[in-house]
Amino acid sequence: MKKVLVLCGALLGFAHSAGAAVPYLKGDAAAGEPLTTMCAACHGADGNSLAPTFPKLAGLGERYLYKQLRDIRDGARPIPTMAGQVDNMTDQQLADIAAFYASQQVSGSQADPELVALGEKVYRAGVADRKVAACIGCHAPNGQGNAPAGYPALAGQHPEYIATQLREYRKGYEDPAGRTNDGDTRIMRSNAFGLSDMEIEAVASYAAGLR
């Protein structure tokens, strides 16, 4: 029997899932749990990482997690720390891992009080003069996302990680070395491209602190 590789490293970030391009495969959380043994080193046993350099995976939504795992395996989302980790995994194994993490409860994060006002404005209203859409439309008023549609939850995530992903999407708008796996609509790249550094820090902090 072929040895199953285990998942480790930074798994995901935030984007529209472009779910229609990836057929959805229902996972089995019980089958996925033993596949995540070594993931705990970076992401925590229940998907709640302690270090902001590694994202919390708990509660992100099965469809979103499955797409990110497939994108990492298939090269659509290169992450150096994930190199080789999921290369030999089947679609079903990836779906099972996604189901396990989706079934876990995310721990909380705190917003920086000094960034709340600006962060709330960007999250709820966008930036009209730069054609930045409000985050609330896809990620929900409470930051819980839309799991059936493949839009990830942001509430409880490390704000540093959200900010990093927004900067990567902003870079990806013009440079393929940035993050580009937000689908043909380029919605995350387009929105992030219109945000200043301060706005990115503020909206990341606000979203992370939502309940």
Q: Where exactly are the structural domains of the chain?
A: 19-102, 113-208
Per-residue pLDDT of 141-173, as tens digits, reads: 999 999 999 999 999 999 999 999 999 999 999
Residues 208, 211: Cα–Cα separation, whole Å: 9
The larger pLDDT score, comparing residue 81 to residue 22, is at 81
What would the DSSP string read from start to end of 49-76?
Answer: -SSTTS---TTS-HHHHHHHHHHHHHTS
Band of the pLDDT at 10, cuts 50, 70, 90?
A: very low
Per-residue pLDDT of 176-210, as tens digits, reads: 999 999 998 999 999 999 999 999 999 999 999 99
3-state secondary structure of 109: coil
pLDDT at 82: 84
Residue with tokens 């749990």: 33
Per-residue pLDDT of 115-141, as tens digits, reads: 999 999 999 999 999 999 999 999 999
Per-residue pLDDT of 53-107, as tens digits, reads: 999 999 999 999 999 999 999 999 999 888 888 889 999 999 999 999 999 999 9
Report whether pLDDT(9) > 50: no
Superfamily in which the 113-208 domain is placed by CATH: Cytochrome c-like domain (1.10.760.10)
* Fold of the CATH domain 19-102: Cytochrome Bc1 Complex; Chain D, domain 2 (1.10.760)
The share of the chain scoring above pLDDT 90, in percent, equals: 79
What pTM was computed for the model? 0.88
Asked if the domains at 19-102 and 113-208 fall in one CATH topology, the answer is yes
Residues sharing a CB contact under 8 Å with residue 72, sequence separation 6 or more, in sequence order: 11, 78, 79, 82, 85, 86
Report whether pLDDT(17) > 60: no
